[in-house]
Amino acid sequence: MSPQPQAAVGAPLSRVDGRLKVTGKALYAAEHEVEGAVHAVIVDASIGRGRITSIDSAAAEALPGVLKVLHHRNTPKLPYRDNSGSNNPPGRRLRVFQDDRVRFHGQPVAVVIATTLEAAQHGASLVKVGYDAEQPSTDLTEAEPDEPTRYARGDAEAALRSAAVRLDLTYRTARNHHNPMEPHATIARWDGDQLTVWDKTQWVVGTQTELAAVFGLETDAVRVISPFVGGGFGTALRCWPHVVVAALAARETKRPVKLVLSRKQMYLGTGFRPSYEYHLGLGSDRRGRLSAAVHELDAETSSYETFTESILAAGQMLYSMPNVTQRYRTVPLDLPTPLYMRGPGFQTASFVIESAMDELAHELGVDPIELRKRNEPNEDESSGLPFSTRRLRECYAVGAREFGWHRRNPRPRATCEGHWLIGRGMAAGVYDTARMPAQASARLDADGTALVEAAATDMGPGTYTSQTQVAADALGLTVRSVTFRLGDSLYPPTPPHGGSMTMASVGSATLDACNRVRRQAIELAVGDRESPLYGVPADDVVVRNGRLHVKNDPTRGETYRRLLARNDRTHLAADGSFAPPSGPERHSFYGYNATFAEVAVDASLGLVRVRRVLGVYDAGRIISPKLADSQALGGMVGGIGTALLEHTVTDHRDGRIVNANLADYLVPVNADIPDLKAVYLDGEDREADPLGVKGLGELVMIGVAPAIANAVFNATGRRVRELPIIAEALL
Ligand code: MOS
């Protein structure tokens, strides 16, 4: 088939669902009107580890409006089948009210269901739980690690010993919580053995399979609906225990149940970015050619599940070097299980590696960009595979020019404006281009409009809009003529809305479904004696604005509407799919960036103000430039938070999170956000997927924290190897 003109893809459209969002008509999980819904409020454990010895729910049950109090003594055994079709890490997942164990501070130990929210909240405050408390272990540096995961090529220890220049550095990164604007919420309703759930989730299919596994149902007996998600950053990639609590409460009361987590409860078991302690040994020659890296890192996990993330990949492939060893240990603690948070793994690895590269550049007196270019690999040295596309050198060149890198004084603490010390820093970023099987369906109606559906979700990046753009061009329709529906497990299945894989995976399935429909229409026309296109080779026909015509003769053609009407067709429809090629990969797939930051540090107060951030991205094709900018600017804001503010603090005496609220867990506000700019290298990656995209949502956060840390060094001469960088570290 002839390639379609691209009119919608690449256009800076506003969100197709923008009006719904700003008028409050977009319904988030807790806002769906489900008739007869009652309210559930969870009671959280007030110890960090131990056993429940007593539960007194009499006062709660006596309250007017309270329907039931559920806890481990009155909850039936739930099947909890294994479920590989979810984001459950290895281990034994937390089973709701199935035993008397308390595994972390804040674990759900009971739920109060009442006809009003106020009665449920009051009831929850009246449930008296007795405990046999034990001393929890919540300190990463104090606990016993698991057996390590290892990687080695060459002999890094020996190469490091003989290196002309050697760095031996220890980094620490804080635990971070996702903190989306919309809290987790679930409405659950049973119709006989059929369970319907309106949920905040980044993966309706994952939540569907998990609820089926927990309750021992066929997958088809569960329907999960999630048309709008108010931010996720990874927290909604798993079906957490509170979703099971809602479904259980609905089953036991025979009423639909609505359960909304409080802001505090968002810190008590819906995932987090684990804290790391990370040792990096780096060896190079005098010219800065790297010879060896030794990575030894410890990360938090829970006592009942082993959560790991892609923290090793960057150390194996970002720079050329013959010798690398890595030792990655999880440390089981009395905490809930961590989960992916924006830029998972790569974000933390990039802070460590890119800070160390800056230290090496300073040590050698080499420009940080020049040092990186001297270590640019010709292939992926972890696999021996060629890169599908890797344009990091162009990212450096474009970034240096746009940022005015040549104006940076490499000497630390050399640039002042009054009492402000000014510094500039940069970092490279990398994130893998994940693709997974996805499906979509498309239908072209006789009125010339189209409906495309996939089970995907949209936590904010603009999936509705970007998928509509892809569909519109493939069908040859205007964006206004296409409706894209998502967020329902009844639609064709898709992978998790995370890991930057939605555009490549779902987008390619949408493209396939729409291409099939267009082909049907073209074949109908060229075989129809009544059509002006009769007898034209199908490959010579394109569709534009709902009209099929000969590619080189726009005057010869007809509209979809005429074609379908004359042929008595109510619609044309097709299912589409995408799957990455089977068998071993033939390329190494990654997106790249170069990130630049300028900071001002108050010389006497240690206060860090970010003045500007520039990101230059090699992310393949950009489908939706305006939404890409939203992604990139949001990623930079997230990176500023990680660099300077975000820190979940635990009281190790009892395992309690001290700052489980948005007043004490600091995130950037408008006054913290300076001039941000995103630049995309024009291009596409045809090896990665039919759309040529490499994913953007995770990549844009990576590199921000080390660029800021490196700028802080340039401003102050202080090397801070701990996130967040706080004023005290600079005094
Ligand atoms: Mo992303 S951390 O996979 O939502």
Domains of the chain: 18-26+436-578 (3.30.365.10), 29-136+185-263 (3.30.365.10), 386-434+590-730 (3.30.365.10)
Helix axes 625-644, 346-364, angle to 10 degrees: 70
| Length of the chain (residues) | 731
Q: Please tell me the number of Cα atoms within 13 Å of 499 on its side-chain side.
A: 18
Q: Comparing C-alpha atoms, which of 637, 600, 588 is closest to residue 615?
A: 637
CA of 233 to the centre of ligand 1 (A): 5
- Quote the CA–CA distance of 445 and 619 in Å, as a whole number: 35
Q: In which element (H, E) is residue 58 found? A: helix 58-62
DSSP string, 118-181: HHHHHHHHH-EEEEEE------TTTSPP-PPEEEEES-HHHHHHT-SEEEEEEEEE--B----S
pLDDT of 1 = 83
Q: In what order do the strands lie in the sheet with 608-618?
A: 416-417, 420-432, 590-602, 608-618, 675-680
Task: Please identify, by atom number, the ligand 1 atom nearest to the C-alpha of residue 697.
Answer: 1
Contact 144, 301 (CB under 8 A): no
Contact 157, 294 (CB under 8 A): yes
CA nearest ligand 1 atom 4, residue: 234
CA of 497 to the centre of ligand 1 (A): 7
Phi-psi region of 435 (alpha: psi -120 to 50; beta: other; left: phi over 0): beta
- Quote the CA–CA distance of 75 and 88 in Å, as a whole number: 23
Task: Please identify, by atom number, the ligand 1 atom nearest to the C-alpha of residue 235.
Answer: 4
Using a cut of 0.80, tell me whether the model's pTM lies above it: yes
CA nearest ligand 1 atom 3, residue: 498
Contact 135, 109 (CB under 8 A): no
Residues within 6 Å of ligand 1 by CB: 202, 232-234, 237, 340-342, 344, 498-499
ipTM reported for the complex, 2 dp: 0.97
Amino acid at 376: E
Task: Please identify, by atom number, the ligand 1 atom nearest to the C-alpha of residue 342.
Answer: 2
Q: Collapsing DSSP states into helix, strand and coil, what is residue 105?
A: coil
Amino acid at 610: V
Task: Please identify, by atom number, the ligand 1 atom nearest to the C-alpha of residue 343.
Answer: 2
CA of 311 to the centre of ligand 1 (A): 14
- Quote the CA–CA distance of 525 and 535 in Å, as a whole number: 9
According to DSSP, residue 16 is labeled T
Contact 508, 689 (CB under 8 A): yes
Amino acid at 565: A
Task: For ligand 1, pick from 342, 347, 702 the residue to mutate: most ligand atoms within 8 Å of CB.
Answer: 342
CA of 165 to the centre of ligand 1 (A): 37
Q: Comparing C-alpha atoms, which of 262, 215, 268 is closest to residue 109?
A: 268
CA of 177 to the centre of ligand 1 (A): 12
pLDDT of 588 = 98
* Residue 574 burial (CB count, 10 A): 18
Instruction: For the chain, list residues with pLDDT below 50.
Output: none
E strand spans, 382-517: 416-417, 420-432, 438-445, 450-453, 482-485
Q: Which residues, listed in sequence order, are joined to residue 112 by a DSSP beta bridge?
A: 41, 69
Task: Please identify, by atom number, the ligand 1 atom nearest to the C-alpha of residue 698.
Answer: 1
pLDDT of 85 = 85
Strands 38-44 and 108-114: antiparallel
Task: For ligand 1, pick from 233, 311, 348, 432 the residue to mutate: most ligand atoms within 8 Å of CB.
Answer: 233
CA of 494 to the centre of ligand 1 (A): 15
Phi-psi region of 480 (alpha: psi -120 to 50; beta: other; left: phi over 0): alpha
Residues forming the active site? 698
b vs e for 447-468, b when ≥16 Cβ sit within 10 Å of the residue's Cβ? ebbbbbbbbbbbbbbbbbbbbb
Contact 269, 302 (CB under 8 A): no
